[in-house]
């Protein structure tokens, strides 16, 4: 069945108008949706910007706190190092002071001991000189001779004791200790009373009387 042209043209025009209307509606809907989306972009951007600012602010605050903590730790470490240096300096100064004091003490102790030894030595020399003077006084009268022998000893030799043999020697040895004590040894001939004479001269310090007693003991022995 054929459609009349007039009717077919009318239907085509109607369909075209409908399609145009739908296209126009679609365009309007897209535009409206696009405008809505575009209008939301500034709001989203502002939100993102505010969020970024908040995040950046929080990060900056945390970073500031962290830097302050690190600065405080560094300051503590520096102060600790300074304390260690000060302590080491004090320790070294104390060591130097103690060492200096010890050296000074040793020097003073050495000086005291040296002085004590020199004093004792001088006293011994003085006593030997006095003994020598005493001997010189009695040498001619008593026939006494003194010799210095080994061990810093003095040997006393009497003669003119035995009338039959005036040249016969009677002798003993004398040693002076640093304690300024007399030690009498090696008498020939042997005298039993020599130790007693030694004790007496240590107490009285009268060496002239000691020599007289020894000579008298030798004379008694010679006569007997």
Structure-block tokens of residue 70: 């690190």
pLDDT for 77 equals 86
Structure-block tokens of residue 77: 């470490």
pLDDT tens-place values along the chain, 224 residues long: 444 444 444 454 555 566 666 666 766 676 666 555 555 555 555 555 666 566 667 767 877 788 888 888 888 888 888 888 888 888 888 888 887 888 888 888 888 888 888 887 787 777 777 767 766 666 666 678 888 888 778 899 998 888 888 889 999 998 877 666 788 888 999 999 999 999 998 899 888 899 889 999 999 998 87
Residue 210: burial class (beta carbons within 10 Å; 0-12, 13-18, 19+): buried
Give the angle 108-125-110 at the CA atoms, nearest 5°.
10
- Catalogue all structural domains in the chain, each as residue range(s) with its CATH number: 127-223 (3.30.457.50)
Stated pTM of the model: 0.40
Closest by alpha carbon to 180, among 96, 116, 107, 109?
116
List the strands of the sheet with 144-149, edge to edge: 144-149, 153-158, 170-176, 182-188
Number of H helices, E strands in the chain: 3, 4
pLDDT for 218 equals 92
CA dist list (Å): 70 to 60, 62, 75, 81, 182: 15, 12, 8, 16, 85
């Amino acid at each position: 069945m054929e459609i009349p042209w007039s009717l077919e043209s009318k239907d085509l025009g109607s369909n075209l108008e409908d399609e145009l209307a739908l296209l126009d509606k679609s365009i309007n809907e897209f535009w409206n949706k696009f405008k809505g989306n575009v209008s939301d972009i500034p709001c989203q951007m502002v939100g993102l910007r505010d969020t970024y600012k908040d995040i950046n602010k929080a990060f900056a605050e945390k970073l500031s706190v962290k830097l302050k903590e690190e600065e405080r730790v560094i300051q503590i470490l520096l102060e600790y190092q300074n304390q260690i240096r000060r302590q080491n300096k004090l320790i070294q100064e104390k060591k130097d002071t103690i060492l200096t004091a010890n050296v000074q003490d040793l020097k003073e102790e050495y000086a005291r001991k040296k002085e004590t030894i020199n004093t004792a030595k001088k006293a011994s020399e003085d006593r030997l000189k006095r003994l020598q003077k005493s001997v010189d006084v009695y040498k001619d009268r008593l026939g006494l001779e003194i010799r210095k022998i080994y061990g810093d000893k003095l040997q006393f030799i009497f003669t003119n004791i035995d009338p039959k043999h005036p040249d016969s020697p009677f002798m003993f040895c004398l040693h002076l200790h640093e304690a300024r004590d007399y030690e009498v040894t090696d008498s020939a001939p042997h005298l039993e009373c020599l130790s007693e004479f030694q004790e007496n001269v240590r107490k009285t310090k009268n060496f002239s009387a000691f020599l007289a007693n020894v000579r008298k003991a030798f004379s008694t022995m010679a006569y007997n």
